[in-house]
Structure 1
Amino acid sequence: MAPSTIPRSDPFADPIRMSENSEYAAGDTLPVGRDASLTLATDSLIVLEAKTTQAVPFFNVLWAELSDFDITIQYAKPTSKNVMRVASVNYLVEKPQQGYAKAWISKLLDRAYGESQRKKRIKVLINPFSGRGGAQKWFLRDIEPIFVAARCEINVERTLYQGHAVEIAEKMDTDAYDVVASCSGDGLPHEVFNGLGKKRNAAKALSQVAVVQLPCGTGNAMSWNSFGTDSTSLAALCIVKGIRTPLDLVSITQGNRRTLSFLSQSVGVVAEVDLGTEHLRWMGSARFTYGFLVRVLRKTVYPCDLAVKIDVPTKGAIKEAYRKEFSNHAPIEERRSSFDMETPGLPELQYGTVSSPLPSDFTPIPSSKLGNFYAGNMALMAPGANFFPAALPSDGHLDCVTVDGDISRTSAIQSFLAVEDGSWFNMPHVNYRKISGYRITPKGQKSGYISIDGERVPFEEFQAEVHRGLGTVLTRSGHMYEAEGVVPRTGQGS
C-alpha cells in the first residue's frame, strides 16, 4: 500500500491481537448493558463483554446512534478473505449515561470518519453488462447495504448503451451529489469524466463531484489505484470512508474531437495486446500473455513521430519527486491548477490541438523502432501490472514509458515479468519520463490500435495535454495511490 500519515486500519485484522495491542483512556469508555463496555482505543472500537472481546477498526465503523435507551453501532465485518458484510452491536444505555453516550458517539464518529465526508450523496450508475452481467447482483448484495448502513443518500440508474453515462453526467445536477460511483469496469468512469467535461461549468463540475469505481469489470484499474482492491464490498467501504483527492485529467485532441482521459494512452504492444486480442476472450487473461509473446517473437515495431514536453527527465529526479509527495498534505485546492470556474466548458488548451503547429517546447524523441509507447495517469493498469510506479494523482504530469521494439527477445520477456515483480522501472532499456504533453503520429501503418483508457480510438495522429487536478476522486490516503512506489514506503532510501 502507498504510505499515508492518516491511521490505516486493516479491515481484515485479527481482532484479538488488535485488542491486546490497543491503549485507551478510561474517559473513552462507555458502560453499556450488564458487564459490558465500549471503548475508543488507538485505532479501533473495543467491545468488551463478560467472556468475549471484539475489536472493530475505526475504518470499518459505518454509523452509531442513540435511540431512546439503545445504542446501535453498525460496522463492516469481514466474513471471508475479501468480503465485508454489515453487522451491528446493540446495548442498553442507562438514563444517567444518556448525555455522556451522545458525546461518546460524536467522538466515535470523529474517529471513524476523520477527514472523510459523512453521509455522502451518491449517484450510482450500474452497467448491467459488466462482470458478465453480475453488476446488478453485486450492487444489491455487496454494496447497497454498506451505503445504507453508513446513512449515504443514494440514487441508482442503469446505463442502457455505450455512451449513456456521458449523457447522464452531462445532464445531472452536480449540486445534488457528492459522488458518482460506477458499478462497472474502467469504461464508465471514463464516460462520467467526459460527461462532466461537457457541462457548461465543466471545471466546477469536475472539481465538485468525485468520480469513483465499484469494481464490477475485468481490470478495475481505478479501484485498484484508489482503494487497493477489486472487492466490491471493500470498495464500497472505501467510498464511504474515502477522502476527496484531486486528479490530473488529460485532454486528448484527435481530428476535431477533444476528450478527457483519466487512466492511460497507449500505442504499440500494450494497445495491440489489449485491443487486438478481443477475439481471444475465451482464453481469459491468458490472451494478454499470448498476444505479448507473439509480438515479442516477431520483434514487432510501431514507427511513429513522437514529441513530448519533458518535465522530469531522469529516473533519479523522478524518485526524488515521488519521495517529496510522502509528506505533501497540502489542502486539496493547493494541489490543483487555478481554473476559472466561470469560463464555459473545459480549460483552454495551453499547447493547442493536434492541428496546431507543434509547440516549440516539445522535444522530438527518436521513435522509428518504437515497440511500445505508454503514458499513464495512475500506477496500476490491472492487478500486478504496476507499469507506472512513480505515478501520483495530482502532480501535473503523465508518466511516459517508451521501449524500442528491436530489443532482444530475452530483454522483452524480462520486461514483461518485471512489471509484476517491481523491477520494471529500473530496467536500462525502459525509458521513463514525467511529461505534461505530447504529440504522436503513427508512420508506415495504414491501420492499427490506439487505446485511450482502454477504449479503441481511430488510428491517427493525436495530442495530449495534462490539466493538474482538474478532476476529483476518492482515495484512502487523500494524496497517494494504493500501489508500491519507486521508493520504500517509509520514504527513505532510493
Structure 2
Amino acid sequence: MKRYLVIYNPSSGKELAGYKIFNAAETVMSIENIEFSFYATKKKGDGEEAAIRGCRSGYDMIIACGGDGTVHEVVNGMMKCPQRPKLAIMPAGTINDFAEQLKLPKSQDNFASLILKNNFRTIDVGKVNDDYFVNVVGGGAFTTIPHRVTIDAKTILGKYAYYYQAAVQVPEELELSQLIDYTIDGVEYSYNTLLFLVINSSGAGGFRYLCPNAKLDDGLLDIVIFEKTTNADLFQIFTKVFNGQHITHPKVHYFQGEKIKIIPEKELLIDTDGDPGGYAPANISSVHKAIDILVP
C-alpha cells in the first residue's frame, strides 16, 4: 500500500485548505488503495520539520496543501534529506505562484484526478545561502509587499490584499535603488538596481513571463535586473512585462546561469518564495533535477 503524507496550512485559502484536501483524499481512497496521513501546520517552520519526518518515515509522496509559503517550507525539509519521496502540490493559498506556473488544479475533484493519473516531472530547485526555493529569490522594490500583508487581509480580500498593499507602497518603492554587484557563472556586472529577481520558473508575483526563456529542468536559473530609471521608462517596462517583451528594454538585463553571487552596496533584505530570507550577500545556485513533482 502506498503511503502519502499531507502537510497543510489550515489558514490558507480563506481557511478552506483542510476541507479541500480531506475531500480530495477521500475521493482517491475510494478508488485506490492509498493510506493518507495529515499534519496541520501551526507556526512558521512546522512544514519543514514535518517534511523531514515524512522523508525519514519512508512516505511515497508528500502533498503540500497551502500557498507558496507552505510549499517553500515543505521543499526545504525535503531538500535536507538524502532520500526524498515524490512531491505534490494542492494550491490553496492566496497567490500560488509556483502552482500557477505548473498549471496545477485548485479544485478538490481535479486534484484527486491528478493524483490518480500519477504523472511526474523531475524539476530543479534553487538554493540561496543555506535555504532552498522552488520559484523566486528577489531583492529591492516591491519584494517586501508579501511580508506586510496580514493573514486577516488575505482571508478577507484574497489576492487583492497584495494589490492594495502594492498601491499603498508605490511612491516609496520607486525611490528604492542601490548599486549591486552580480557575478553570474564567473562574469561580473554592476547595476544601479531598483529590483532583481532570480527565478526557477518563468514567472512570479502573478506575472507569468518575467523570465520568458526559463525552464524548470535545465539546470539554470534566470535572472532579471531592473535598473533605476525614469517613471516614464518604468511605465513602458511594466506594459511589456505581460508578454515578456520587457527584456528588450535597455534598462532591463536578463541572464541565465547556474551560480549567481549578489553583493549589495547597502543592507538588502532577500525575499525567498514570498517570505523573508535573510540579508545579502547571497550565493544562489541551481540544484539540477532535485525533486519529482506531480504534474497534469
- TM-score per shorter chain, which class? 0.7 to 0.9
Deviations 1:180-239 (A, max 9, x none): 11111112222222212333xx2xx23xx2222211111112321223544444334333
Answer whether contact 2:149 2:162 (CA < 8 A) is retained: no
Call closer, same or farther: CA 1:165–1:274 in 2, change over 3 Å.
Answer: closer
Answer whether contact 1:265 1:374 (CA < 8 A) is retained: yes
TM-superposed CA distance for 1:434, in Å, is: 0.9
Q: Which residue of 2 aligns with 1:399?
A: 222
Call closer, same or farther: CA 1:425–1:239 in 2, change over 3 Å.
Answer: farther
Answering whether residue 5 of structure 2 is matched by residue 183 of structure 1, we say: no
Answer whether contact 1:377 1:399 (CA < 8 A) is retained: yes
Answering whether residue 3 of structure 2 is matched by residue 135 of structure 1, we say: no
TM-score with structure 1 length normalisation? 0.54
Q: Which residue of 2 aligns with 1:307?
A: 183
Q: Secondary structure at the match of 2:10?
A: coil
RCO higher in structure (CA 8 A, sep ≥6)? 2
**Aligned match for 1:148, one of 29, 35, 43:** 29
**Aligned match for 1:240, one of 116, 120, 142:** 116
Measured in 2, the distance between the counterparts of 1:279 and 1:192 equals: 20
Matching residue's letter, 2:215: L
* Aligned positions of 1:177-256 closer than 5 A: 177-199=59-81, 202=82, 205-206=83-84, 209-253=85-129
Answering whether residue 265 of structure 2 is matched by residue 443 of structure 1, we say: yes
Answering whether residue 118 of structure 2 is matched by residue 259 of structure 1, we say: no
Answer whether contact 1:220 1:382 (CA < 8 A) is retained: no
Give the gaps of 5 or more residues in structure 2.
none
Call closer, same or farther: CA 1:393–1:242 in 2, change over 3 Å.
Answer: farther
TM-superposed CA distance for 1:135, in Å, is: 1.2
Answer whether contact 1:266 1:451 (CA < 8 A) is retained: yes
TM-superposed CA distance for 1:402, in Å, is: 0.7
Answer whether contact 1:124 1:157 (CA < 8 A) is retained: yes
TM-superposed CA distance for 1:292, in Å, is: 6.4
Q: Which residue of 2 aligns with 1:433?
A: 255
Measured in 2, the distance between the counterparts of 1:429 and 1:232 equals: 43
Measured in 2, the distance between the counterparts of 1:404 and 1:382 equals: 19
* Aligned positions of 1:343-362 closer than 5 A: 362=186
Matching residue's letter, 1:413: F
Call closer, same or farther: CA 1:386–1:236 in 2, change over 3 Å.
Answer: farther
Call closer, same or farther: CA 1:150–1:441 in 2, change over 3 Å.
Answer: farther
Answer whether contact 2:91 2:104 (CA < 8 A) is retained: no
TM-superposed CA distance for 1:243, in Å, is: 2.0
TM-superposed CA distance for 1:289, in Å, is: 4.0
Answering whether residue 196 of structure 2 is matched by residue 373 of structure 1, we say: yes
Measured in 2, the distance between the counterparts of 1:397 and 1:241 equals: 29
Measured in 1, the distance between the counterparts of 2:181 and 2:46 equals: 35
Measured in 1, the distance between the counterparts of 2:106 and 2:245 equals: 24
TM-superposed CA distance for 1:443, in Å, is: 1.3
Deviations 1:322-346 (A, max 9, x none): xxxxxxxxxxxxxxxxxxxxxxxxx
TM-superposed CA distance for 1:251, in Å, is: 2.4
Measured in 2, the distance between the counterparts of 1:260 and 1:302 equals: 25
Matching residue's letter, 1:468: H
Deviations 1:71-116 (A, max 9, x none): xxxxxxxxxxxxxxxxxxxxxxxxxxxxxxxxxxxxxxxxxxxxxx
Bigger strand share: 2
Call closer, same or farther: CA 1:418–1:240 in 2, change over 3 Å.
Answer: farther
Moved more, 231-240 or 429-438: 231-240
* Aligned positions of 1:25-44 closer than 5 A: none
Q: What is the aligned-residue RMSD (CA, Å)?
A: 2.7
**Aligned match for 1:458, one of 270, 278, 281:** 278
Matching residue's letter, 1:398: L
Matching residue's letter, 1:220: N
TM-score with structure 2 length normalisation? 0.86
Call closer, same or farther: CA 1:277–1:404 in 2, change over 3 Å.
Answer: farther
TM-superposed CA distance for 1:157, in Å, is: 1.7
Answer whether contact 2:75 2:132 (CA < 8 A) is retained: yes
Call closer, same or farther: CA 1:422–1:250 in 2, change over 3 Å.
Answer: closer
Q: Secondary structure at the match of 1:125?
A: strand
Answer whether contact 1:277 1:287 (CA < 8 A) is retained: no
Measured in 1, the distance between the counterparts of 2:15 and 2:211 equals: 31
Measured in 2, the distance between the counterparts of 1:293 and 1:145 equals: 45
Give the gaps of 5 or more residues in structure 1.
1-118, 310-361, 477-494
Call closer, same or farther: CA 1:280–1:371 in 2, change over 3 Å.
Answer: farther
Q: Secondary structure at the match of 2:245?
A: coil
The structure that has the greater radius of gyration is 1
Q: How many residues align?
A: 290
Call closer, same or farther: CA 1:233–1:186 in 2, change over 3 Å.
Answer: farther
